[in-house]
Structure 1
Amino acid sequence: MTRNPPTAVVPFDVKLMNITATVMFMGCLAACVTAVGWWLMRTPAFNIGRIVVEGELVHNNAVTLRANVAPALKGNFFTVDLKSAQHAFEQAPWVKEAQVRREYPNGLRVILKEHVAEAFWGPDTGTGLVDKAGEVFEANLGELDREGLPRLQGPEGSAPRVLQMFRMLAPVLKPLNVGLDGLMLDARGGWEMALDNEAVIKLGGGTAEEVLQRVQRFVRTLPQITSQYKRTAVALESADLRYDDGYALRLKGVTTGSSAAATPARARR
């Protein structure tokens, strides 16, 4: 039978030398990696020197954005915090969303999406706007074409609901040849709308469908009432739709001495 040769025993001092050599090699490797990383983080070649801004910009200018945001960017190509850079761009007026990515060797590419204003939000003295998604934002109103924008108001967090109701009611008023200029939701859930002829109409509360039905009834029957006084819907001064069986209204040019003003007109289904 063939016997296996005895395994050579590695002397302790040789083992120690091997371990020492391995540790030294790993230490040197770590030092080299650290040195390279230190160099990369500090060499001017990788300082952020180019910022490309893209997107359909209406209220912002790429040159101005770069100039305003660049001082807030800390670090170079490798160390800049993209989340912080994104936040910095999203703080600019009108910017809804920003996507930021690195572009070797020293650049950033930024894709911006702006808010599209659908209405003013809040009181007349405020600078709030609401976009097509129902998101409220602040902006310089001097940069905005105010023509045709309605004003919406409501409790905090209600902008999407108010905007949705506005979209439901505005088309309903078209047969009257008046436009919906504003819509307000109060803290108790009551609605009030303002027309472009300065008329104010109280709609009351309830579900969206209930409010819509009241307005539809109003639009359907108002011409019958106004024609009795040789008026049109443009002469409407105010209306109250909070009655179960009809509504009350006032017309411009109808004096308080008339029966229409003394006893507000009622229209039934």
Structure 2
Amino acid sequence: MNMTAALLLSAVVLMGLGAGVWWWLRHPMFAIRAITVQGEVTRNNAITLRANVVPQLQGNFFTLNLDQARQVFESVPWVRAAVVHRDFPNRLRAELQEHQPMALWGDDGANTLLNQQGQVFEANAEDPEVEGLPRLKGPVTQSREVMQMYRYLKPILAAADMEIDRLELSPRGSWRVVTDKGAQLELGRGSQQEVGELVQMFLRTLSQVTARYGRTPTALAAADLRHKDGYALRLKGVSTVEADPRKKP
């Protein structure tokens, strides 16, 4: 009897302690009162973060799920990554990294951008700071490959006074470039090295071909480099097919 009474008393005490701890953990003093933001916050401020984050947080200092809080912060426009910490007794501290855009992504009018890591993210593409960026397009699963091809071709074309305005990878793996002067280059399929060698060969002979018609490379309207032994060229008012200069007649 004494043992039974002792066990019951212990159970009652434990239940009381548990209820007390539960009440204490949920005391209003532990409700999240403030959020401190550190890191890259050039495109967000306290007002936008409060409006986007606070309504979605669930729980107090002790019961808040930090992983869920991290996801909430990362859902805010321009936030690429977040690390969230608790600061006793009722504060959160978030360390943010923002997306650094390198290109517009997708069709005209799409609110998607490509960051320096090759990740596609949603943001206001009408921001004056991003309006002058090139536009890249391709399957989202190959966004990093498109970014790498852009970085590879950019200096090659820049050496010929051409800037990439658009770079597209078709679902079938074919590359297309539109320059800042409106010339469209069909590059076909291939690795970076294969496509790069093809473009370099084309650029080495472009001046010679355009000179035959009294024009300069700035007259280029379109070129199709997918031919096995040469390329098709279209100038303003002139069309021709140039044989591969490496092959003898």
| Superposed pair shares fold, TM > 0.5 | yes
1:7 matched residue in structure 2: none
Unmatched tracts of structure 2, length 5 or more: none
CA contact (8 A) 1:59 1:94 kept: yes
Task: Spell out, residue by residue over 1:181-235, the C-alpha distance to the aligned partner (whole angstroms, 9 max, x if none).
Answer: 1111112111110000010000011232211110011122212222333432222
Alignment pair present for 1:133 and 2:110: no
Stretches (4+) displaced over 4 A: none
Distance change (3 Å), C-alpha of 1:118 and 1:163: same
Aligned AA (1:171): P
The equivalent of 2:29 in structure 1 is 45
Deviations 1:150-204 (A, max 9, x none): 1111123111111111111110012221101111111211111000001000001
Secondary structure of 2:51's aligned partner = helix
The equivalent of 1:234 in structure 2 is 218
Between the aligned partners of 2:175 and 2:41, the Cα distance in structure 1 is 35
Which residue is 1:6 aligned to? none
- Please say if residues 221 and 267 of structure 1, whose CA atoms lie closer than 8 Å, have aligned partners that are also in contact: no
SS of 2:102's partner is strand
Q: Per-residue deviation at 1:19?
A: 5.2
CA shift in 2, pair 1:102/1:213, >3 Å: same
Normalized per residue, which structure has more strand? 2
Alignment gaps of 5+ in structure 1: 1-15, 256-260
* Alpha-carbon distance in 2 for matches of 1:80, 1:246: 64
CA distance in 1, matches of 2:119, 2:86: 29
Moved more, 171-180 or 136-145: 136-145
Whether 1:217 aligns to 2:194 is no
1:258 is matched with none
The within-5 A match list for 1:167-246 is 167-246=151-230
Contact 1:100 1:108 (C-alpha < 8 Å) held by counterparts: yes
Q: Distance in 2 between matches of 1:267 and 1:147?
A: 38
1:135 is displaced (CA, Å) by 0.7
Give aligned pairs, total.
Answer: 246
**Contact 2:182 / 2:221 at 8 angstroms: preserved in 1?**
yes
State the distance in 1 between where 2:62 and 2:89 align. 9
Cα distance in 1 for partners of 2:55, 2:173 equals 46
Deviation at 1:81, TM superposition (A): 1.4
* Structural RMSD (CA): 1.8
The verdict on how the C-alpha distance between 1:107 and 1:229 changes in structure 2, with shifts beyond 3 A counting, is same
Q: Which moved more, 1:54-63 or 1:157-166?
A: 54-63
- Counterpart Cα distance in 1 of 2:191 and 2:200: 14
- Taking structure 1 as reference, are residues 262 and 52 closer, same or farther at Cα in structure 2, changes over 3 Å only? closer
**Using a 3 Å threshold, how does the CA distance of structure 1 residues 147 and 73 change in structure 2: closer, same or farther?**
closer
Contact kept in structure 2, 1:225 and 1:267, CA below 8 Å: no
Give TM-score, length-normalised by structure 1. 0.85
- Distance in 1 between the 2:87 and 2:100 partners? 29
Q: Percent identity?
A: 45
1:52 is paired with a residue whose SS is strand
